[in-house]
Amino acid sequence: MPDAPVSDTRVPLSILDLASLKADHTSTDALNDTIWLAEQADEAGFDRFWVAEHHNTKSVVSTNPPVLVSALGAHTKRIKVGSGGVMLPNHAPYVVAEQFAMLEALYPGRIDLGIGRAPGTDQLTAAALRRGTDALSVEEFPHHVLQLLHWLGDERLDEPMVQRLVATPEPTSFPEVWLLGSSGYSAQLAGMLGVRYCYAHHFGGMDPVSVFEAYRSRFEPSASLDAPHAMICTSAITADTEEEADFLAGPARKMWLSIRTGAREPIVTPEAAAAHELSATDQIMLAQSPATKFVGTHDHVTEQLRALVEGTGVQELMLTATTFDIATKMATYRAISDRW
């Protein structure tokens, strides 16, 4: 079993965004906010900027990562941009391979392909995306990942179809591939395939230490990666005081509860969230699964994040946040980065 790497608290910082829709705003507003955030992250020195895939919901505009990644690449200069992730059961692997081959041709050395196993939506929507449910099983997923890896330069799969096809444009470089997950299954599969792994701590309910142990214990070197490489994604909101941070985190709590009840409403203002009285059931749900993992002063949250990195031994940290105002979100990221 490979040892957990000695972690440095100055590991690279990255950002995950969902292009969330605010109340009384448009989808165009949400997408422009995400592009602005990527520009700010680029200038501030963040390492990666990823966007997620969600469907059939009023609260998230990020439905098509490849399209949005292309826009992000055009508006940034240095930062790596990518998917966090593409939900592979929704798509034919060859389509994803060609999408990201084109992105890599447009922005060489700056494209990440994060792959997820969940459909990121309900089963009806997933069936509509793929015109059926035949590719949604757990058993199909590893094979589809191997197909995708093959078309993106990791040619380990000896199969007639993948051998005969190439993902065009013809590559001079390949996107960096990550497997994403919130379970031990994804961690073990990432290890067995010898690819980078990111744990979704911002909504995952497992002990991250055990998840990364599962990844490292099953790791087998591959053509693209000779040692385990792990990242943890978590959520944080900071402010000058605990009270202010808790107030700014109100919209995240309201959105989290709406998702849990199937409403998936747009993000409300902090004032509207504060006016919403939490029921006993709401309080239990938030206690069991907080909407934001780390809420508090800039210094306190940064120290908590350092402890998380050191405890898990990861090489990278990714941050995400749900706030009403995009400047509030960037203020949290800058405050943590300044102290990192």
Q: Which amino acid is at 28?
A: T
Which tens digits make up the pLDDT trace of 75-96? 999 999 999 999 998 899 999 9
- pLDDT score of 5: 45
- pLDDT score of 57: 83
- Whether the ω angle into residue 208 lies within 30 degrees of 0, i.e. cis, is no
- pLDDT score of 259: 75
Q: Nearest CA to 151 among 139, 161, 137, 162?
A: 162
Which tens digits make up the pLDDT trace of 261-313? 767 789 999 999 999 888 888 888 888 888 999 999 999 999 999 999 999 99
- pLDDT score of 1: 47
**Which domains occur in the chain, in start order?**
13-244+292-339 (3.20.20.30)
- pLDDT score of 175: 97
Q: Which stretches of the chain drop beneath a pLDDT of 50?
A: 1-2, 4-9
- pLDDT score of 128: 82
User: In sequence order, what E strands does the chain have?
Assistant: 13-17, 48-51, 80-87, 111-116, 176-181, 196-200, 230-239, 294-297, 316-320
- pLDDT score of 126: 74
- pLDDT score of 131: 59
First-to-last alpha carbon distance for the chain, in angstroms, is 30
Q: From CA 197, how far away is CA 190, in angstroms rounded?
A: 6
CB 41 within 8 A of CB 332: no
